[in-house]
Structure 1
Amino acid sequence: MKSILVTGGAGFIGYFTVKRLIQEGYHVVCIDNVNDYYDVNLKFYRLKELGFQKDDVEVWGNKTQSVLHSNLFFYRMNLEDRNALPLLFEEYQFDGVINLAAQAGVRYSLENPMAYVDSNLVGFVNLLECCRYNKVKHLVYASSSSVYGENPKVPFGEEDRVDYPVSLYAATKKANELMAHTYSHLYQLPTSGLRFFTVYGPYGRPDMAPILFASAITEGRAIKVFNNGEMSRDFTYIDDIVNGILITLLNAPKEDFEHPYYQLFNIGNGSPVSLMEFIETLETELGQVAEKNMMPMQPGDVPRTWADTSNLNKLGYKSTTSIKEGVASFVNWFKSY
């Protein structure tokens, strides 16, 4: 594979994925609509680090070449655009597609459900159609650990039933898996879904716990600790996630699989950490103790996540970054941002 499309290229995971693909010598086109779900300045900051100037990437549909990498291009575009996206596929004839574009956030899905319908459902079908008609060799797409809902069995395994999501966001991700399976079955389109488990690191989303907590601690504000702190997460450092994405990209599902041309993987740390331990590690690295405001569980949230990554491990994946190492790296970036 030489030519790769990365959707959501201005996002957290997208930014690091694009960087790694460029380092590996791929020709990369990334798209993003740069919406205002969170501070767009962080998205433009990531794009600037990739060699794109704000004045160029603000323009919808504008083809922009990175000033740092001759093999990297950016378009501001909606995934659900039924005119622009097919034209992009026709122009570049991508070998592989990594779909990281989505309306994110469990709690925000309670406030603005139609944003999830447009991007996560309509946009994903539009992408599948483009992959189908342009004979893409492999589509790797982001699913989520949220599909497991309140599954009592731990660790979570890909074979577990995930029929009872507790948020619209989770429901759209499960729908993505079902739609991908349909296209793999009908059109022999190789698809691989990755169920991400609590990704964190430098340049991360400001609506996620690390930045919310770090900002509050350094500004002397109390942090909100949901479910009275009785939560645990399979915190996974961004570098480990990107390694897993590339490993998956290079291992497309085959015709002789149990589900031909279709596969699903958990991608996580495989060793959950309590929320209170994560906060304590963050306090240590920041050199400040947080005031804590204990609160009940929020609608759509779950008390714990825990990934069984044994299937992806068979392809060579391994999470190697400890919480202490990962939080230290995040804090170093946070202090300079």
Structure 2
Amino acid sequence: MAHKDTAAVPVKGSKLMVIGGASLVGSATVDEMLARGAEQVVIFDNLSFGGQPNIAHLLDNPRVKIVQGDILKLHQLLAATEGLDGIVHLAAYMTLNFDRDPWGGIDVNIRGLQNVLEACRANRVKKVIFASSNAVYGYGPGVKGDLVEDTPFHAAGAPPAAILYGASKIIGEQLCRDAHRKHGQDYIVLRYSTVYGERQHYRAANALYIVETHDAIKRGQRPKVIGDGSETKHFVYVGDLARANCMALEAPTTDVAVNTSGPAPVTTLELVTLVAELSGRPDLTPELVEPDPTKVRLTSGGAFEIVHTAAKAAIGWEPKVDMREGLRRLLAWRDAEAMRNAAE
């Protein structure tokens, strides 16, 4: 882990950009930056995933600039990054999108990041926070126990889309290391576990357990659990990740990759049961079903925990919101959105 005075970028008073800023994590990060006193926050997003509602509340904010752009077009990034102090780079294809369009995912996740790093070098952006993933540890029977930053990648038995996604994040981390070694580009890699929270979408494979369970319960149906319910998932609340992004910018640390996970893992049966309870229908007990071979599933070989102690040492971060409280906030937001849409 490297430290140097120039690696710290205070959020207060700085000009920052969030690439993929209209996303779940992106919009929460922009809100956090504004709350911490950023002078200006640029939202750079191609808006291809319908993120406009996530940033609608920011349209009239004088400290926010929205740039509809494409990270595959270097000239757009060069123009957008002029005069910036720091960047949080979130834009990426996730597993479900990789399944539909693997070549597009490789372009966005690898060439897109390389363009971001080149724009940062050209415009002397002080620090980049790169959103990686616990997918760098892989999937399948080898994924078990404590997952720490030097845990190797496991690929046996996992679907190609999941492996392509994880591999793209490994390459992205190494591109950041390469930029640091060759050009002195300060960066921190944050390896997110599965994100959930307000403004939740349907694009994250593991988060589907939450939103699809909630949807089924609202229809009065028993929620489904794939397999025997013992599979482990490790989620992190979106507000905690927004803090992590800002704390990584402000830390004097550079050239390091750390896990950012929630307080504790949960099994799929525990998760679905908790959603039913918080939805006011504990009577709708989960139904165990066989996996659908036509759908991408992210499976693990046994109980595991994504350890986040290195993040505390590197950037002073640890999660604050546990699964019950985070789910309560998410479900309240979804219910409020459903009522608002019904009233329109």
In the superposition, the TM-score normalised over structure 1's length comes to 0.85
**Gap change, CA 1:190 and 1:300, over 3 Å in 2:** farther
Q: CA deviation at 1:226?
A: 2.7
Letter in 2 for 1:280: T
**Gap change, CA 1:320 and 1:175, over 3 Å in 2:** same
The 2-side partners of 1:97 and 1:180 are apart by 13
Residue 257 (structure 2) aligned to one of 253, 259, 264: 264
**Contact 1:80–1:123 (Cα < 8 Å) also in 2:** yes
Q: Superposed, which structure 2 residues align to 1:16-165 within 5 Å?
A: 16-26=28-38, 27-36=40-49, 40=50, 43-50=51-58, 52=59, 67=60, 69-90=61-82, 93-104=83-94, 106-150=95-139, 151-162=142-153, 164=155
Letter in 1 for 2:42: V
1:14 paired residue number: 26
Identical counterparts, % of pairs:
23
Q: CA deviation at 1:220?
A: 3.5
User: Relative to structure 2, which stretch is displaced further, 244-253 or 4-13?
Assistant: 244-253
Letter in 2 for 1:20: E
The 1-side partners of 2:278 and 2:225 are apart by 19
Question: Where do 5+ consecutive residues of structure 1 fail to align?
Answer: 53-66, 254-260
Q: CA deviation at 1:216?
A: 2.1
What do residues 94-116 of structure 1 show as CA deviations (whole Å, max 9, x unaligned)? Answer: 11010011112x23322211221
What do residues 200-223 of structure 1 show as CA deviations (whole Å, max 9, x unaligned)? Answer: 111112233222221122124554
* SS of equivalent residue, structure 2 residue 189: strand
User: Relative to structure 2, which stretch is displaced further, 236-245 or 194-203?
Assistant: 236-245
Q: CA deviation at 1:164?
A: 4.2
2:171 paired residue number: 175
**Gap change, CA 1:291 and 1:155, over 3 Å in 2:** closer
In the superposition, the TM-score normalised over structure 2's length comes to 0.83
1:61 paired residue number: none
Q: CA deviation at 1:175?
A: 0.9
2:6 paired residue number: none
* SS of equivalent residue, structure 2 residue 145: coil
**Contact 1:192–1:252 (Cα < 8 Å) also in 2:** no
Q: CA deviation at 1:149?
A: 1.1
**Contact 1:221–1:291 (Cα < 8 Å) also in 2:** no
1:62 paired residue number: none
**Gap change, CA 1:278 and 1:163, over 3 Å in 2:** closer
Question: Where do 5+ consecutive residues of structure 2 fail to align?
Answer: 1-8, 338-344
Q: Superposed, which structure 2 residues align to 1:182-193 within 5 Å?
A: 182-193=178-189
Give RMSD over aligned pairs. 2.0
Residue 296 (structure 1) aligned to one of 285, 291, 296: 291
More RCO (CA 8 Å, sep 6+):
2
**Gap change, CA 1:78 and 1:222, over 3 Å in 2:** farther
**Gap change, CA 1:224 and 1:128, over 3 Å in 2:** farther
**Gap change, CA 1:162 and 1:291, over 3 Å in 2:** closer
